[in-house]
Amino acid sequence: MNAYVESVINRVREKYVSEPEFVQTVEEVLSSLSPVIDAHPEYVKADLLNRMTEPERMISFRVVWTDDNGEVHTNTGYRCQFNGAIGPYKGGLRFQKNVYPGIIKFLGFEQTFKNSLTGLPIGGAKGGSDFDPAGKSDAEIMRFCQSFMTALYRYIGPDIDVPAGDIGVGGREIGYLFGQYRRLKGVWENGVLTGKGTSYGGSLIRPEATGYGAIYYLNEVLAHEGESINGKTIAVSGFGNVAWGICKKAMQLGAKVVTLSGPDGYIYDPDGVSTEEKVNYMLEMRASGRNRVQDYADKFGAKFFPGEKPWGEKVDIIMPAAMQNDVNIDSAKKIIANNIKYYIEVANMPTTNDALELLRSTEGVIVAPSKAVNAGGVGVSALEMAQNSERLVWTEEEVDEHLGAMMRNIHKVSAEAAEEFGLGYDLVAGANIAGFKKVATAMLEQGIF
Ligand code: GLU
């Protein structure tokens, strides 16, 4: 490994010892960049990697809200504006019990590279709170969102930082957040958030975009191998908005998603989540707030495996779409033992680094990295921003066409970047290198800070 790269990784390891997820993503990304740094001494001279691994700004704030019984609760809110070199900060908000600075920083760092890959002018950010939405009433969610935005609004804006959804933040939460922003500022700036409802500036296809984009990317990988998606079986984890988009598009293209998972276990449906009724039921399950996938098995007579993950199932394609570190070394060994060729990451950092290394070094396994595969979500968010600033609405077909073109391009630039450095068809290194180069160039041209 390049000595400068190694020194930056060591610095981050020491400094962020209490934030292991952040260290994990820095190790993964930077270890791909050795050949680029070897070829560009000017990056070392400008100390680019130490600068890129330090967030431009990390904001944390108190969020106080009252529950339906009049009891007062205090949470912490965060916004990490990681890198604004190529555009206004952009990235989702995650409301989940386990949120702490290490999660927000890892997501903000990943977002910087992902957003760069979209080819659109958006910088990287992430935010959220350790608020747990499970079991909260609609009125409690609203009061929490209003309090959260009351603290956040002074740091964001359509040309400053544009938050969106992530785990625990969907259309409903974005609505409450936007309403509070408008009340506080007294302006119609709907470009300040994406993932909005279509009645106030949301983009068509945004809810589907991450899942659709993932399938479009998968199509490129399959085409590279001379195969087609029709008839393939897919093991998916999660049952949220991303898994839903994957199921919908897979169904249209004749592939079968045979597993979904939740915190309670996973379901196996040999017929696939392949009818309108089943796909729509996923939305109901999510909206119920129960956070249980067993409900699917009960309703459709599928098999349920309590407390397990779906990675031991024999399928053609694996798509982890739940959350970070969903696939560990034991799961990776099962995937390899089942001779599965396509390992397509969808959730942010779904694979532990040792599992990722094992999969990448196994002959016959193609690994596609989440920062490329799931970039269609934030990509369509950037299209939503464009529509808002133009004060018009694109048709479904227009958005979908842009999304398809974007995903084809992300695959192409990633494959080319790996090829340029003699790495062959290495989509993981390629995405890291391609995402890095644009941000690096912008930072160099903007001077030292
Ligand atoms: N949270 C999503 C992501 O991980 C979407 C972010 C956005 O649309 O800004 O990319």
Range of the domain at 45: 3-191
- In sequence order, the 6+-apart residues with CB closer than 8 A to the CB of 7 are none
- Same domain for 299 and 164: no
Ligand 1 centroid to residue 150 C-alpha, Å = 21
Domain boundary among 191, 223, 239: 191
Answer yes or no: is 380 within a domain. no
Answer yes or no: is 124 within a domain. yes
Give the domain CATH number at 221: 3.40.50.720
What is the chain's Cα-based Rg? 21
In degrees and rounded to multiples of 5, residue 394 shows phi and psi of: -85, 155
Report the percent of the chain where pLDDT is more than 90.
100
Ligand 1 centroid to residue 73 C-alpha, Å = 27
- Same domain for 147 and 242: no
190 lines ligand 1 (CB under 6 A): no
371 lines ligand 1 (CB under 6 A): no
241 lines ligand 1 (CB under 6 A): no
| pLDDT tens-place string over residues 256-277 | 999 999 999 999 999 999 999 9
Mutate to test the pocket of ligand 1, among 82, 96, 107, 111 (most ligand atoms within 8 A of CB): 111
Catalytic residue flag (residue 334): no
- Taking the C-alpha atoms of residue 389 and residue 134, their distance in angstroms, rounded to an integer, is 35
Predicted local confidence at residue 1, as pLDDT: 94
Answer yes or no: is 251 within a domain. yes
- Taking the C-alpha atoms of residue 13 and residue 22, their distance in angstroms, rounded to an integer, is 9
DSSP-derived secondary structure for 217-255: HHHHHHHHTT--STT-EEEEE--SHHHHHHHHHHHHTT-
Domain boundary among 191, 219, 241: 191
Picking from 319, 409, 402, 332, the residue whose alpha carbon sits closest to that of residue 368 is 319
| pLDDT tens-place string over residues 92-119 | 999 999 999 999 999 999 999 999 999 9
- Same domain for 317 and 261: yes
Predicted local confidence at residue 296, as pLDDT: 98
Ligand 1 centroid to residue 27 C-alpha, Å = 22
- Same domain for 213 and 185: no
Answer yes or no: is 408 within a domain. no
| pLDDT tens-place string over residues 25-60 | 999 999 999 999 999 999 999 999 999 999 999 999
Catalytic residue among 90, 105, 114, 126: 126
Instruction: Give the residue-averaged pLDDT of 168-187.
Output: 98
Ligand 1 centroid to residue 334 C-alpha, Å = 30
Ligand 1 centroid to residue 165 C-alpha, Å = 6
- Taking the C-alpha atoms of residue 425 and residue 248, their distance in angstroms, rounded to an integer, is 29
Ligand 1 centroid to residue 349 C-alpha, Å = 13
Nearest CA to ligand 1 atom 8: 378
Predicted local confidence at residue 342, as pLDDT: 99
101 lines ligand 1 (CB under 6 A): no
Predicted local confidence at residue 81, as pLDDT: 99
Answer yes or no: is 241 within a domain. yes
Nearest CA to ligand 1 atom 10: 378
Domain boundary among 191, 224, 252: 191
- Same domain for 264 and 138: no
- In sequence order, the 6+-apart residues with CB closer than 8 A to the CB of 292 are 262, 263, 264, 285
By CB atoms closer than 10 A (0-12, 13-18, 19+), residue 246 is buried
- Same domain for 186 and 298: no
Answer yes or no: is 17 within a domain. yes
Mutate to test the pocket of ligand 1, among 106, 178, 378 (most ligand atoms within 8 A of CB): 378
194 lines ligand 1 (CB under 6 A): yes
Q: At what angle do helices 329-337 and 353-361 cross, to 10 degrees?
A: 20
Mutate to test the pocket of ligand 1, among 381, 388, 399 (most ligand atoms within 8 A of CB): 381
Q: What is the overall mean pLDDT for the chain?
A: 98
Ligand 1 centroid to residue 395 C-alpha, Å = 21
378 lines ligand 1 (CB under 6 A): yes
Mutate to test the pocket of ligand 1, among 210, 387, 403 (most ligand atoms within 8 A of CB): 210
Ligand 1 atom closest to the Cα of residue 381 is 8
90 lines ligand 1 (CB under 6 A): yes
- Same domain for 276 and 136: no
Spatial contact of 257 and 239, defined as CB atoms under 8 Å apart: no
- CA angle 162–166–167, rounded 5-degree value: 155
115 lines ligand 1 (CB under 6 A): no
- Same domain for 303 and 268: yes
Ligand 1 atom closest to the Cα of residue 110 is 4
Tokens of 316: 């053609």
Ligand 1 atom closest to the Cα of residue 206 is 8
- In sequence order, the 6+-apart residues with CB closer than 8 A to the CB of 301 are none
- Same domain for 243 and 181: no
Strand 123-129: give its sheet, edge to edge: 57-66, 72-83, 123-129, 89-95, 161-164
196 lines ligand 1 (CB under 6 A): no
> How many domains are there within the chain?
2
- Same domain for 221 and 172: no
In degrees and rounded to multiples of 5, residue 391 shows phi and psi of: 55, 45
Answer yes or no: is 94 within a domain. yes
Ligand 1 centroid to residue 103 C-alpha, Å = 14
| pLDDT tens-place string over residues 341-388 | 999 999 999 999 999 999 999 999 999 999 999 999 999 999 999 999
- Same domain for 171 and 235: no
Report the percent of the chain where pLDDT is more than 70.
100
Predicted local confidence at residue 435, as pLDDT: 98
Give the domain CATH number at 56: 3.40.50.10860
- Same domain for 213 and 175: no
Tokens of 94: 């995650």
| pLDDT tens-place string over residues 128-158 | 999 999 999 999 999 999 999 999 999 999 9
432 lines ligand 1 (CB under 6 A): no
Ligand 1 atom closest to the Cα of residue 114 is 10
Predicted local confidence at residue 101, as pLDDT: 98
Answer yes or no: is 416 within a domain. no
